[in-house]
Amino acid sequence: MSVFTIEAGLAFLGLVLLLVEAFKPDICRRTLGLMAIAGTALALVLFVFAKHDTASLPGFMQPWHQLDTLALFYKGFALVITILVLWLTLECAPYLTRFTVDGKLAEMFSLPLIVCAGMMWMASARDLVTVFVSLELVTVSFYVLVAFARKSAFSLEAGVKYLILGALSTGVLVYGIAWIYGATGTMSFDGIAKALANPATNKTAALFGAAILLCGLGFKVAAAPFHMWVPDVYQGAPTPVTAFLSVGSKAAGFVVLTRALDAFLVENSIIGTEIQSLLLVAGSLTALLGSLPAMFQTSVKRLLAYSSISHAGYLLLALACRESPRFDLSSGGVVAFYLATYLPMTVLGFLGLGLMRANGLGEDIKDFAGLAKRNPLLALLMTVSFASLAGLPLTAGFLGKLFVFLGLADHGYWGALSCAIIAAATGFYYYFKTVLAMFTTEGTDAPALKLSSATRAVAGLLAVAILVLGVYPKPLQKLLKPASATMAARN
């Protein structure tokens, strides 16, 4: 079975689940959720044992798809985050149904499968047309998911904002693609790389097109100055959707950025210096503009939204560093490593937030007061999550930031490194402000919170992954090393 067949099957399953709910409206939402999880888990198993070479793809897809190490990593990443988001949706179902018109959650279980298929196709894209089609499949699905809680004014407001700004960013992206095509005569990444290495290519047109394209992608990854939509959209969207946006959508945007920048920053590129400088400035501003406002947030959900912006800044700085001989990883490999560490700690944080909401509590820091007394295990797990997000040593988040900081130091980007360190230091304040609230004596008279055995198991596995990656990252580094070799050979 080819990888493309698995991806198409996953999208087809999403459509089937929608039809099942439409023609059998009395079906249990838990049954739909478990069917979606089982289907995605089966896709993950089949993906692991499928043939991972381009020759295994259908003939009509071979010119447009690639199955290098980076593509395979992001495909597996998309499947894992989709399974976790579907599980989180099941856990939050009692809370979510109160904000839907008919109490149904079919779209919350089916659309993530379509989003997953879009992210997997995006990871293999060889050209800008495939990128655009896959990206819009993901984005349009998110328009529905963000505004899904139709009885919530916050959700509807978030949906409208995301729709308007998303449509604007799509227009900018298409405009950039048009300029790139006009300057280089091609839309394939390999063709663009060859054209930009040719001194005869019009530098002004190519640079303008690349800058516009990066602006369009900047919205997708929440890079400054295109990040202002994030706090409102994250706060208004249902918690599982927020987690999906924070991890899945960000990963999809960065795999496209990695592909594009590999072409723009090819050896002897006529626009390489300018694009690298743009990345350093954008990454530094994004890290700071994500961390500094987070210090003043009282809502944990908005705090995590600003945190997501800050992490996008670190990832942009990693892309600016290009090769990192110290770790034997390309810039794309460092980004993939960072996202692999970002997944468990972010999902664990949103899982804790979703469980709080499912138990009738709010999203403000004050609602976390005394959590250690009401449920010590949940407080401990969220402490692990927030400690890793802050970058505490012996956690996965520490190594992700360390790779970025050492890459900046190795290349002598001291200004960007200073901004990144300030942003990281600020993170310790706002993350541990929430942790401190959980261990205060206030709110200890509130009723205890109960977690199911399955929830404890999933949350425990995420916490273990955070700690294991924090002390033993070698297997993950080894998994991503071939990406460097492949990229170097192509460049």
* DSSP string for 177-191: HHHHHHHHS--BHHH
CA separation for the pair 374, 371 (Å, rounded): 5
- Is the pTM higher than 0.75? The answer reads yes
CA separation for the pair 238, 99 (Å, rounded): 10
CA separation for the pair 203, 488 (Å, rounded): 24
3-state helix, strand, coil in the chain (%, to 5): 75, 0, 20
Q: For residue 446, what pLDDT is reported?
A: 63
Dihedral of CA atoms 458, 460, 462, 468 in degrees, nearest 10, equals: -140
CA separation for the pair 396, 400 (Å, rounded): 7
CA separation for the pair 171, 175 (Å, rounded): 6
CA separation for the pair 424, 429 (Å, rounded): 9
- What are 280's two structure tokens? 């350093």
Per-residue pLDDT of the chain (491 residues; tens, 9 = 90+): 788 888 889 999 999 988 887 788 777 778 888 899 999 999 999 998 888 877 777 777 777 788 888 888 999 999 999 999 999 888 888 778 877 777 677 788 889 999 999 999 998 888 999 899 999 899 999 998 888 887 788 888 888 888 898 889 899 999 999 999 999 999 999 999 999 999 999 999 999 999 999 999 998 888 988 888 889 898 888 888 999 989 988 898 899 999 999 899 888 889 988 999 999 999 999 999 999 998 988 888 899 999 999 999 999 999 998 776 677 777 888 898 999 999 999 999 998 888 888 777 778 888 888 888 888 888 899 999 999 999 999 999 999 899 999 989 988 899 999 999 999 999 999 899 889 988 886 655 666 777 788 888 998 999 999 999 999 988 888 888 754 444 444 44
Give 329's contacts (C-beta < 8 A, 6+ positions apart): 337, 403, 477, 480, 481, 483, 484
CA separation for the pair 309, 58 (Å, rounded): 38
Q: For residue 29, what pLDDT is reported?
A: 77
Q: For residue 357, what pLDDT is reported?
A: 80
Q: For residue 280, what pLDDT is reported?
A: 93
Locate the domains of the chain by residue range.
Answer: 284-491
Helix ranges restricted to H, 391-452: 396-411, 414-438
CA separation for the pair 19, 41 (Å, rounded): 21
Rg (CA), the chain: 22
SS3 299: strand
DSSP annotation of 310 reads H
Q: For residue 487, what pLDDT is reported?
A: 41
DSSP annotation of 448 reads P
Q: For residue 455, what pLDDT is reported?
A: 86
Amino acid identity, position 71: A
- What are 63's two structure tokens? 């010119």
Helix ranges restricted to H, 147-271: 153-184, 189-196, 203-221, 230-236, 239-244, 250-264
CA separation for the pair 302, 307 (Å, rounded): 8
